[in-house]
């Protein structure tokens, strides 16, 4: 009787072992269809605790695109110093670059002096970026230093659209990024005051737009389009895009998003938004508009809802991405945290939200997440700049909440030059701080193309290019390991990965 029971137990154990072996073999067979992806994911996990290896892995990994980057803020300080020196510009004691006519200011120095004065050079790099930032009574926070940097190099960045774009395209090429949408300013400076004065005499938005059109909006937009067309031609020529051997950077597809400064009076915001919307309709290489500047600014806070209404009226038919929820407790009174993301979506019709870190403070967060998932509305996550500007990092950041709710996200660089980072760094932080695995990062990289503002045919082409690049990357990773290592990785994946 005992022997019979033992025999039965042995048969049961053997059956369980055989069943488990069958399941493992079945899983191995299934995973073999995506062999290179499985091996690449295993290699990523093996590198996770070795930050040097992990960074090198992510640098090589195709990263789709960068959808949230301010062109001027993306350029490193060293480039601005070189360009300012070439233009014989000066820098004043407040570390602001000034034009030639202002070089006789007391204490102003030629920027070219920095090319042989390391101390001055370091002083300028630190002024134009967050490098070596330490709080002072004059600039007490990273938030203040970050936003102040733009004015310091504005005299250079404002005249180097072509050079800045070329600089960034080459950088993206080196990081295996195939697409980018640069945020730039583009309005008719000579007509701006006249436009604002003309519409200030009316109260209704329809009347403001009609007045603006009668005052020469069409001519303004045509002029801006001509400038942009000429600039793109220079970019393509500089990178030899039409030559048999194009230079690095030419293969990176790029578009522009027009910035509107939200810390201006309502009529100025109306004018800028009207120009941006009209330019988007006229020029396919301008794909969207965005409101920029500190969201916690006096005017930005006071006029936030009005700004959303201006966008809804002027741009109901063009893509909109908005900085919204780039706020945190203590920076503004609590009521200002409770509605910015929702109004950007529901009033302005934003398809993408930049930052969105104030999610937890929004009224009915769960309902908002459900709405963002259903529309869908994409969150442009900028881990480093959010850390530097707001001090929001690690578990305080809502990235895991967005992911858990099924809201699509992309990783972006925001202002890589000011932050002294690159896009790879944001993928590294996502892996390091939130434990994201290779497949999740690959999906996020693909999102940058899915949720770009390209048209559907262009998206298909870019997605096909991304898939080819990812397949080649994964083949290269798998080929670097021995057959035994790959077999072990495949079996381990079959045992540990969910069915």
Within a domain: residue 367?
Answer: yes
What is the pLDDT, as a whole number, of residue 496?
A: 58
pLDDT tens for 420-476 read 999 999 999 999 999 999 999 999 999 999 999 999 999 999 999 999 999 999 999
Within a domain: residue 145?
Answer: no
pLDDT grade for 487, boundaries at 50, 70 and 90: low
- Among 89-103, 159-173, 249-263, 304-318, the range scoring the smallest mean pLDDT is 89-103
Residues 95 and 8 in one domain: no
Residues 135 and 161 in one domain: no
Share of the chain above pLDDT 70, in %: 90
What is the pLDDT, as a whole number, of residue 11?
A: 62
What is the pLDDT, as a whole number, of residue 188?
A: 87
What is the pLDDT, as a whole number, of residue 18?
A: 45
437: left (phi over 0), alpha (psi -120 to 50) or beta: beta
Residues 91 and 167 in one domain: no
- Residue 489: which domain range? 2-51+482-496
* Cβ neighbours for 212, distance < 8 A, ≥ 6 positions apart: 195, 198, 199, 270, 271, 274
Residues 347 and 458 in one domain: yes
Average pLDDT over residues 135-153: 92
Question: Which of helix, strand or coil describes residue 53?
Answer: helix
Whether pLDDT at 14 is above 90: no
Residues 289 and 426 in one domain: yes
What is the pLDDT, as a whole number, of residue 104?
A: 86
Q: Hey, how many other C-beta atoms are within 10 angstroms of the C-beta on 346?
A: 15
What is the pLDDT, as a whole number, of residue 492?
A: 64
Within a domain: residue 148?
Answer: no
List the one residue out of 17, 58, 38 whose CA is nearest residue 488. 38
Question: Which of 177-191, 274-288, 484-498: highest mean pLDDT?
Answer: 274-288
* Last residue in a domain, options 90, 115, 140: 140
Residues 117 and 180 in one domain: no
Q: How many domains does the chain have?
A: 3
Residues 270 and 348 in one domain: yes
Share of the chain above pLDDT 90, in %: 83
Within a domain: residue 86?
Answer: yes
Mean pLDDT computed over every residue of the chain? 92
- For residues 13 and 441, the model is more confident at 441
Residues 113 and 166 in one domain: no
What is the pLDDT, as a whole number, of residue 106?
A: 81
Q: Where are the beta strands (DSSP E) in 118-252?
A: 179-184
What is the pLDDT, as a whole number, of residue 186?
A: 87
pLDDT tens for 350-379 read 999 999 999 999 999 999 999 999 999 999
From CA 157, how far away is CA 218, in angstroms rounded?
Answer: 26
What is the pLDDT, as a whole number, of residue 7?
A: 63
From CA 202, how far away is CA 189, in angstroms rounded?
Answer: 22
Average pLDDT over residues 385-396: 97
Average pLDDT over residues 263-271: 96
Residues 101 and 178 in one domain: no
What is the pLDDT, as a whole number, of residue 246?
A: 94
Residues 220 and 175 in one domain: yes
Whether pLDDT at 344 is above 90: yes
DSSP notation for 150-183: HHHSHHHHTT-HHHHHHHHHHHHHHTT--EEEEE
Average pLDDT over residues 269-282: 97
pLDDT tens for 421-431 read 999 999 999 99
pLDDT tens for 187-207 read 888 898 999 999 999 999 999
From CA 427, how far away is CA 442, in angstroms rounded?
Answer: 10
* Cβ neighbours for 109, distance < 8 A, ≥ 6 positions apart: 90, 91, 120
What is the pLDDT, as a whole number, of residue 138?
A: 84
Whether pLDDT at 17 is above 70: no
pLDDT grade for 2, boundaries at 50, 70 and 90: low
In angstroms, the Cα distances linking 384 to 28, 57, 210, 289 are 39, 20, 43, 23
From CA 93, how far away is CA 440, in angstroms rounded?
Answer: 48
The continuous run of DSSP H or E covering 410 comes out as strand 409-411
Whether pLDDT at 21 is above 80: no
What is the pLDDT, as a whole number, of residue 423?
A: 98
List the one residue out of 390, 283, 400 whose CA is nearest residue 331. 390
Average pLDDT over residues 126-150: 93
Average pLDDT over residues 151-167: 96
pLDDT grade for 181, boundaries at 50, 70 and 90: very high
Within a domain: residue 57?
Answer: no
- Among 338-347, 469-478, 490-499, the range scoring the smallest mean pLDDT is 490-499
- Among 28-42, 161-175, 199-213, the range scoring the smallest mean pLDDT is 28-42
Residues 233 and 367 in one domain: yes
Q: Is the peptide bond before 376 cis (omega within 30 degrees of 0)?
A: yes
pLDDT grade for 105, boundaries at 50, 70 and 90: confident
Within a domain: residue 374?
Answer: yes
Whether pLDDT at 6 is above 80: no
What is the pLDDT, as a whole number, of residue 482?
A: 67
Within a domain: residue 168?
Answer: yes
Average pLDDT over residues 213-225: 96
CATH number at residue 185: 3.20.20.140
Average pLDDT over residues 289-302: 97
Residues 487 and 457 in one domain: no
């Amino acid at each position: 009787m005992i022997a019979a029971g033992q025999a039965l137990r042995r048969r049961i154990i053997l059956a369980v072992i055989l069943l488990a072996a069958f399941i493992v073999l079945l899983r191995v067979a299934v995973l073999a269809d995506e062999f290179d992806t499985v091996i690449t994911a295993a290699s990523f996990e093996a590198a996770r605790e070795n930050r040097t290896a992990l960074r090198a892995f992510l640098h090589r990994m195709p990263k789709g695109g960068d959808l949230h980057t301010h062109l001027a803020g993306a350029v490193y300080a060293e480039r601005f110093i070189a360009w300012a020196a070439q233009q014989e510009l000066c820098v004043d004691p407040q570390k602001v670059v000034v034009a030639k006519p202002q070089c006789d200011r007391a204490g102003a120095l030629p920027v070219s002096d920095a090319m042989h004065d390391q101390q001055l050079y370091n002083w300028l790099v630190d002024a134009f970026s967050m490098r070596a930032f330490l709080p002072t009574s004059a600039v007490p926070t990273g938030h203040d230093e970050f936003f102040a940097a733009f004015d310091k190099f504005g005299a250079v960045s404002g005249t180097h659209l072509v050079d800045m774009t070329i600089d960034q395209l080459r950088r993206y090429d080196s990081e295996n990024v195939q697409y980018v949408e640069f945020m730039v300013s583009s309005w008719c400076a000579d007509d701006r005051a006249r436009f604002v004065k003309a519409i200030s005499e009316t109260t209704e938005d329809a009347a403001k737009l009609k007045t603006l059109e009668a005052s020469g909006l069409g001519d303004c937009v045509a002029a801006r389009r001509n400038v942009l067309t000429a600039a793109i031609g220079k970019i393509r020529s500089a990178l030899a895009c039409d030559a048999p051997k194009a230079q690095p950077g030419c293969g990176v597809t790029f578009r522009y998003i027009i910035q509107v400064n939200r810390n201006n009076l309502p009529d100025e915001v109306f004018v800028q938004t009207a120009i941006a919307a009209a330019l988007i309709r006229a020029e396919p290489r301008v794909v969207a508009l965005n409101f920029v500047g500190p969201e916690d600014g006096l005017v930005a806070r006071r006029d936030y809802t009005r700004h959303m209404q201006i966008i809804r009226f002027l741009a109901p038919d063009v893509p909109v991405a908005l900085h919204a929820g780039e706020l945190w407790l203590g920076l503004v009174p609590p009521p200002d945290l409770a509605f910015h993301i929702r109004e950007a979506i529901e009033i302005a019709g934003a398809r993408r939200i930049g930052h969105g870190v104030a999610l937890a403070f929004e009224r009915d967060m769960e309902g908002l997440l459900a709405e963002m998932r259903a529309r869908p509305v994409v969150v442009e996550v900028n881990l480093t700049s959010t850390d530097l500007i707001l001090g929001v990092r690690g578990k305080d950041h809502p990235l895991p909440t967005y992911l858990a709710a099924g809201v699509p996200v992309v990783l972006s660089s925001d202002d890589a030059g000011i932050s002294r980072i690159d896009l790879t760094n944001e993928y590294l932080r996502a892996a390091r701080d939130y434990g994201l695995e290779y497949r999740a990062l690959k999906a996020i990289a693909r999102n940058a193309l899915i949720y770009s503002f390209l048209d559907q045919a262009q998206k298909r082409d870019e997605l096909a290019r991304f898939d080819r690049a990812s397949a080649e990357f994964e083949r290269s990773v798998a080929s670097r390991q021995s057959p035994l290592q790959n077999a072990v990785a495949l079996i381990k994946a079959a045992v540990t990965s969910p069915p």
